[in-house]
Structures are given as C-alpha cells and as structure tokens.
Amino acid sequence: MKMGFLNVYKRDMTRFFRFKHQLFSSLLQPALWLGFFGMAMAGNFDRILSSTGTAVPAGVMSVDYLTFMCAGVIAATILFTNIYGGFILLFDKNWGILREIIASPMPRRDLITGIAMSGITKSWIQSLIVILFGLLLGVSFFSGKGPLEILISFAGIFIFIALFAMAFICISAFIALKMDSPEGFQGISTLLTMPLFFVSNALYPATGLPPVLQQVAMINPLTHLTAGIRYFAIGDNFSAIGMQFVYTPGEILISLLYLAFFAGIMFLLAWRTVDKVVIT
C-alpha cells in the first residue's frame, strides 16, 4: 500500500469511534446548542419581529431564526471540530509516536493528508447529525425540494464543509506542530475561534457589525462556509430576522473558490511545517 495517508486516516477514525464519551459529546453538543440557544433566540426574535411588523417582500420565502441559525451552528461546529482536530499531532509528539512516523519511509505530507481526511469525515458526520436534529426541531431546510434537489443540496453543503474543514485542520496541525504543551495549543486555538465565530454571519447577519468588522467578516472563511450552507439548505432568496438574503450563483462560486484557495494555502503551510519539523 503506497497510500500512507489511509493508514493515518484509519488510525484517527478508529480513535474517533473508540472513545464513546468523546464521540457522544462531540455529536450531541452542537445538537444541544441548537436546541437550547437556538430555540430561545428564535422565540425572542420572532416576538420582536412580530411586534415591529416587518413586512416580507412578496414572493420571498420567509424562514424563522432557528432555520437561519442552524446553518451557522453547523459552520461553527465544523470550525470547533477542526481547529482542535490537530491535537492528535501534539499528542503524538508528546507520546513519541510522531518519531515513529517521522522516521518511517512514509512521505510526511501523507500525515497531513490523512488527518485532513479524517477531519473532513468527522465534519460530515457531525453536520449530518445537526441537520437531522434540526429538522426534528422544526428547522425548515430543503423546503419545497424534491429528493434529487435535496441530494444536490447535500453534495453542495458537503463540498463547502470539506474545504473549510481541510483549511482549519491544517491550521490546527500547524499550531500543534509549533506548540509543546496542550495548554498552549488550547490557548491559541481558543483565541482564534473567538473572532472567527463572532465576526461572521453565523449567528446573525454581518451587517449588524461595525463597518471595520464587516470588512473582516467578508474575508472570514466562516462567513463563506455559512453562506454556502444557507444557499444550498435554504435557498438563494429568503428573508430572515427582518432582512432579505439574496445569494447569486456567482457569489456562491466566489465563496467556494475562496475557501478552496484558503484550504490550499493552509495545506501548504502545514505540509511545509511537517516537512521541516525535527523531533528527537
């Protein structure tokens, strides 16, 4: 077998399914978040909106906050999963397993490829569960779509997720290779997630942010991921929280290319780092 990344991938997935508590919590957490935070916020938004009586333009589908936010929860879940996903490399470094790997004939980039693949797989599983749970809670994804269209929507969502997951697991791998302690890794990762999560359109439209932060949100990959998920899961023209959202295919394509470019750069960064790392 010349595909060493499959070996890395298999090991990482085995570990993912082996720790039942961790697996359970990682799958349940986003669902609970959607359940509690989402329901509460949805209730409040809907009350405020009904009192102001914002009119929805004719012919535009109106979706509730829960539906709007569900896409953001999926995006955030993937962000969290992957930004911490490179921890395995720190674990391997501290337990010496990275030495076994580095001293083997396997090309080092296979290590990054394998971990990126498992990050993508985990992200797909998680997003699927959040979507299913969301549908149970009344999220109106894929409304008015036939089976084939739903399938296409899923494919679109999964492509966006794969690119984003790859980018952030590579960032995480880079941090893990540079750090010596779990605390340092945790600290840096958490520091990164904060602005990424809040300076985006995941929980609310970015138009509510101060102008400077709006610019930042524009280049935030999370914004583009959320846009992609909303486009495929809700539609290209809908209204939520009293605002109209229009996504043209061109915009979505740009988001996709942006994520692909970003993922490529991050992969190169992680690859370069693992190629140069000296572990004794």
- Residues interacting with another protein, by CB under 8 A? 1-2, 4, 6-7, 10-11, 14-15, 18-19, 92, 95-97, 99-106, 278-280
Q: Which is nearer to another protein, 102 or 213 (CB)?
A: 102
Contacts of residue 273, defined as CB under 8 A and 6 or more positions apart, other chains included, come to: 173, 174, 177, 178
Whole-number Å distance between alpha carbons of 5 and 179: 23
Task: Using the Cα atoms of residue 165, residue 130, residue 200 and residue 36 in order, give the sign of their dihedral.
Answer: negative
Q: Least distance in Å: CB of 246 to another protein?
A: 48
What Rg do the C-alpha atoms of the chain give, in angstroms? 20
Q: Which is nearer to another protein, 96 or 146 (CB)?
A: 96
Q: Least distance in Å: CB of 103 to another protein?
A: 5
Alpha carbon dihedral 194, 198, 201, 205, in 10-degree steps, equals 180
Whole-number Å distance between alpha carbons of 32 and 29: 5
Q: Least distance in Å: CB of 19 to another protein?
A: 7
Q: Which is nearer to another protein, 68 or 84 (CB)?
A: 84
Q: Least distance in Å: CB of 114 to another protein?
A: 11
Q: Which is nearer to another protein, 182 or 208 (CB)?
A: 182
* Cβ–Cβ < 8 Å for 233, 154: no
Q: Which is nearer to another protein, 104 or 215 (CB)?
A: 104
Q: Which is nearer to another protein, 114 or 235 (CB)?
A: 114
Structure tokens belonging to residue 106: 């396997």
Angle at CA 81, nearest 5°, toward 126 and 70?
Answer: 50
Q: Least distance in Å: CB of 29 to another protein?
A: 21
Task: Using the Cα atoms of residue 197, residue 198, residue 200 and residue 202 in order, give the sign of their dihedral.
Answer: positive
Structure tokens belonging to residue 222: 């999370």
Helix axes 109-137, 249-276, angle to 10 degrees: 140
Whole-number Å distance between alpha carbons of 99 and 278: 9
Q: Which is nearer to another protein, 3 or 265 (CB)?
A: 3
